[in-house]
Amino acid sequence: MNLEKIQNVYFIGIGGIGMSALARYFNTNGKLVAGYDRTPTEITEMLEKEGISVHFTDEVAKIAPPFKDKETTLVIYTPAIPKEHSELVYFQQHGFEVVKRSEVLGLITQNSFCLAIAGTHGKTTTTSILAHILVEAGAPVSAFLGGIAENFGSNLVLKGSEYTVAEADEFDRSFLRLSPNIACITSMDADHLDIYGDEQHLIEGFHQFAAKIKPGGSLIVRNGLNIAGETYGLEDNSDYSFQNIRIENGVYHFDFKYSGGIYKDYTFVKPGRHNLLNALAAVSVAIKAGFAPEALLPHLATFKGVKRRFSYIIKEKDFVFIDDYAHHPSEISALYQAVAEMYPDTPKTIIFQPHLFTRTRDFMDDFAKSLSQFDEVILLDIYPARELPIEGITSQVLLDKITAKQKTLVSKEALIPFLLKKRPKLLLAVGAGDIGAEVNHIKEALIN
């Protein structure tokens, strides 16, 4: 596949966070770009403002004529699209070059010095921090992010092509399409068991990813993971570590230590020790890529975060409302640790929308345990995404297992009236489904 010869790029599932970054990349590079997605979102609105045509019904007739020329058109699809999707079938049956997003990302990154961040949790924030500190250090870098980084207002960074920062996604084994110079693995907790079958096969997938590192390249891993590489960790004997961690006025202060020396008193403003680990991972990768610690560490203080990753929607003295993408029991526990550290004496209410029937089934007891840490749990129905219901797997079954004193199953329609009656002091909206679309409605209702 020669990307230079491609004139038109058509995306099936263009509104996905990874897909939209690629759409922006090709659009910026002068290609004609269009695509389909199931529903309009903030991301599809942004794409349309940038001159990319998007439609929302699966009809071959909606595909504009330039994209029906197979000699000049590349078709990119997300694995979340069903195999029987009529536009996908049309392109496949008419001899078009039809590829997954991961293949294209692999091609784009192969001619640059590639820094790839993998892991079942933390990769989006780590990738965004890495892109931020490299840009601030003056690096010629492009970055493909799995979220909207607040510092850039985008999921795409184009500041040069010598370095590429890429989020290496384990879903559908996509990360095996990358051949990074330096890779980082943040976590290998069981997830995507609908793809891998069991935890052991998932871990094997990460080992296969590590084997894709270019000759002479490096692997950096969180201390304690069962995979060989240079390590990073908090207040331990890792190769890269943050030491002397303390909180002052809600902000982390720490020293950085590695084989090259100790660098004292830097700050990071995002709450939660999981985020501190993400910051450390980003610094470790950038140093391994040849950047000096003193060119990187000061810029951790100006990292604003990633949309829907511990995002403050309202932060007032008597009311705090946080939005977060957590959709795995470990992420929910990390989120609880962060709010408990920042607001130890305030009762904590979580609205949680489970994402996928398979994930809810595979981690039912773990979800119940992590959610039970909160003072009150408001549970929404399971967001199915690409899946059909599974008998016996419902939010009610999950609710029955939660031991929090206050717990309720609420429909999306009844959510705001319920919250207006309750008026919690600290509220979190959590999940990877369409709960993010409800956040502004909740905010407006609670403010008004």
Structural Rg of the chain based on CA atoms:
22
For 82, counting Cβ atoms within 10 Å of its Cβ (0-12 exposed, 13-18 middle, 19+ buried), the class is exposed
Give me the mean pLDDT over the 124-151 stretch: 96
Give the pLDDT of residue 197: 72
pLDDT 10s digits, 334-362: 999 999 988 999 999 999 999 999 999 99
Protein fold of 110-302: UDP-N-acetylmuramoyl-L-alanine:D-glutamate ligase (3.40.1190)
pTM (predicted TM-score):
0.86
Residue 333 CA, chain-centre distance (Å), reads: 17
With bands split at pLDDT 50, 70 and 90, how would you rate the model's confidence at 129?
A: very high
Q: Note whether 327 and 166 are within 8 A (CB).
A: no
Q: Which two three-digit tokens encode residue 97? A: 């070059």
Spatial neighbors of 257 by CB under 8 A, at least 6 apart, are 240, 241, 242, 243, 263
pLDDT 10s digits, 367-400: 999 999 999 999 999 999 878 999 999 999 999 9
With bands split at pLDDT 50, 70 and 90, how would you rate the model's confidence at 412?
A: very high
Q: Which two three-digit tokens encode residue 25? A: 């990349």
Count Cβ neighbours within 10 Å for each residue of 426-436 and write b for 16 or more, e otherwise: bbbbbbbbebb
Give me the mean pLDDT over the 286-302 stretch: 98
Q: Note whether 133 and 304 are within 8 A (CB).
A: no
Q: Which two three-digit tokens encode residue 447? A: 């403010």
Give the pLDDT of residue 192: 61
CATH 3.40.50.11270 is the classification of domain 311-447 = no
For 160, the 3-state DSSP assignment is: coil
**CATH code given to domain 3-101:** 3.40.50.720
Q: Note whether 20 and 37 are within 8 A (CB).
A: no
- Would you tell me how many other CB atoms lie within 10 Å of the CB of residue 44? 21
Count Cβ neighbours within 10 Å for each residue of 93-108 and write b for 16 or more, e otherwise: eeebebbbbbebbbeb
CA distance linking residue 142 with residue 25, whole number of Å: 10
With bands split at pLDDT 50, 70 and 90, how would you rate the model's confidence at 198?
A: confident
Judged against a pLDDT cut of 80, whether residue 194 lies above it is answered with no
- Tracing tokens 């979340």 back to the chain, one arrives at 80
Give the pLDDT of residue 142: 96
Q: Note whether 159 and 112 are within 8 A (CB).
A: no
Amino acid residing at 369: K
H-type alpha helices, 37-140: 42-49, 86-93, 101-109, 123-136
Amino acid residing at 367: F
Closest-CA residue to 180 (of 227, 228, 118, 125): 118
Judged against a pLDDT cut of 70, whether residue 190 lies above it is answered with no
Amino acid residing at 200: Q
Average pLDDT, the chain: 93
CA distance linking residue 281 with residue 214, whole number of Å: 20
Point out the least confidently predicted range of 18-22, 248-252, 352-356, 365-369: 248-252
- Label the pairing between strands 141-149 and 348-352: unpaired
Q: Note whether 147 and 325 are within 8 A (CB).
A: yes
Judged against a pLDDT cut of 70, whether residue 327 lies above it is answered with yes
Domain boundaries, the chain: 3-101, 110-302, 311-447
Eight-state DSSP code of residue 315 = E
For 214, the 3-state DSSP assignment is: coil
Give the pLDDT of residue 80: 81
Give me the mean pLDDT over the 322-331 stretch: 93
CA distance linking residue 418 with residue 409, whole number of Å: 11
Give the pLDDT of residue 193: 65
Judged against a pLDDT cut of 90, whether residue 111 lies above it is answered with no
